[in-house]
Amino acid sequence: MDLPELLRSQARRYRCAVCNTNMADCGIKVITQQGNRALVRVTCASCNDENLLQIIFQTDGGSIEEEQKVPTISEGIPRVPDPISSDELLDLRDLLSAHQGGFRELLDRH
């Protein structure tokens, strides 16, 4: 049984906190999985309320990770020497709020 199928079998036991609909038909997307932990987005089929869940599971010998290869958290994330500072974010906000025109004009300007 793969991880989304396993989670779907468990979802039937829960109700949406927003609209109280049974979660049997909810949307389940595995965002990342590393070892016995997974980060999963669960979306209510009725009201589209989304929740991010960290799932920690126990396996019997075989690993779910072996059955379904899901990128780990560190895969595909570029190395950044310095994080973006709050001042840089404020500068970007000011630049964008003062801009009149399309996206291409914004790029051509800088």
DSSP state, residue 51: E
- What span, in angstroms and rounded, lies between the C-alpha atoms of 52 and 40? 6
Average pLDDT over residues 40-56: 91
The Cα-based distances of 15 to 10, 23, 33, 51 in angstroms read: 11, 5, 24, 13
Radius of gyration over every alpha carbon of the chain, rounded to an integer in angstroms: 20
Q: What's the length of the chain?
A: 110
Interval 70-105: pLDDT, tens: 555 555 566 667 778 888 889 888 888 888 888 788
Angle at 65 between CA 60 and CA 70, to 5 degrees: 160
Query: How sure is the predictor about 61, in pLDDT bands with cuts at 50, 70 and 90?
Result: low
Average pLDDT over residues 63-70: 48
